């Protein structure tokens, strides 16, 4: 008897799944667990999302959501943000960490948005990556979640799970992104990156699972006897 992702016997733990079986199983299981993929960062438009994602660097989404209401109450658009001093912005966002760099980036990118894009966030990856404080991952998140364009933002958590699940051997998030895009159809990228994050936080944490504990790890690799080492980016 076969399922959409291999023989029942394989899923019961007889042997490890092949890569194609892992891809199909992971895709189906994550869609079952997380049919809805709410954006974890509170925002009201592309600009506030951009600022929230920038603030989330080396900071939890929960902390960002605690900080942004006070910031957006004062300035929820580029033209309002440039009226605030860098020092005031820094004071508000300090709990998010890296506030000296982030406050300068927020102020300067707001100036650039006004100077070059009429105060609007451009739906363009290259343009976004030229903004201060905006790297490839931040730009990818904005493209996916603000504009619905297919990207696959990869952070260290997705990088870790992808290696545990045998989806990549990449030594960097760039290589992992490339491999994930090859493995899954573009129509799934935007939701899938959030589903992997949700699963990683709930079941396959850095310390709570070593590649042999959570459901997906055990199903994909039932014969794995040792902790899965992964290439840290």
Q: Which residues pair with 2 in a beta bridge?
A: 7
Q: Please give the average per-residue pLDDT across 210-232, as a whole number.
A: 93
pLDDT exceeds 90 at position 185 = yes
Active-site amino acid positions: 137, 155
Domain 46-145 has CATH 1.25.40.10: no
Residues 57-101: pLDDT tens digits? Answer: 999 999 999 999 999 999 999 999 999 999 999 999 999 999 999
For 159-176, what is each residue's pLDDT tens digit? 999 999 999 998 899 999
Which pTM does this prediction carry? 0.88
Fold assignment, 2-37+152-220: Endonuclease Iii, domain 2 (1.10.1670)
Distance CA 74, CA 71 (A): 5
Distances (CA, A) of 69 to 65, 119, 146: 7, 20, 19
Domain boundaries, the chain: 2-37+152-220, 46-145
pLDDT at 9 over 70: no
> How crowded is residue 50: how many other Cβ atoms within 10 Å of its Cβ?
26
Instruction: Give me the pLDDT at residue 232, please.
Output: 75
């Amino acid at each position: 008897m076969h399922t959409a992702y291999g023989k029942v016997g394989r899923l019961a733990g007889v042997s490890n799944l092949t890569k194609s079986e892992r891809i199909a199983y992971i895709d189906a299981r994550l869609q079952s667990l997380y049919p809805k993929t709410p954006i974890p960062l509170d925002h009201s438009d592309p600009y506030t999302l951009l600022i929230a994602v920038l603030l989330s660097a080396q900071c939890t989404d929960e902390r960002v959501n605690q900080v942004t209401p006070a910031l957006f109450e004062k300035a929820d658009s580029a033209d309002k943000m440039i009226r605030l001093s860098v020092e005031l912005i820094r004071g508000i966002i300090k709990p998010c960490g890296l506030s000296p760099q982030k406050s300068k980036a927020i102020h300067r990118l707001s100036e650039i948005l006004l100077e070059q894009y009429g105060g609007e966030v451009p739906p363009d990856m290259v343009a976004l990556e030229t903004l201060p404080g905006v790297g490839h991952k931040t730009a990818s998140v904005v493209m996916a979640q603000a504009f619905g364009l297919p990207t696959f933002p990869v952070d260290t958590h997705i990088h870790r799970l992808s290696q545990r699940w045998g989806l990549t051997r990449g030594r960097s998030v760039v290589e992992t992104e490339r491999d994930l895009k090859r493995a899954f159809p573009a129509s799934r990228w935007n939701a899938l990156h959030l589903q992997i994050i949700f699963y990683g936080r709930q079941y396959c944490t850095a310390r709570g699972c070593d590649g042999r504990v959570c459901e997906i790890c055990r199903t994909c690799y039932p014969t794995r006897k040792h902790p899965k080492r992964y290439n840290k980016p």
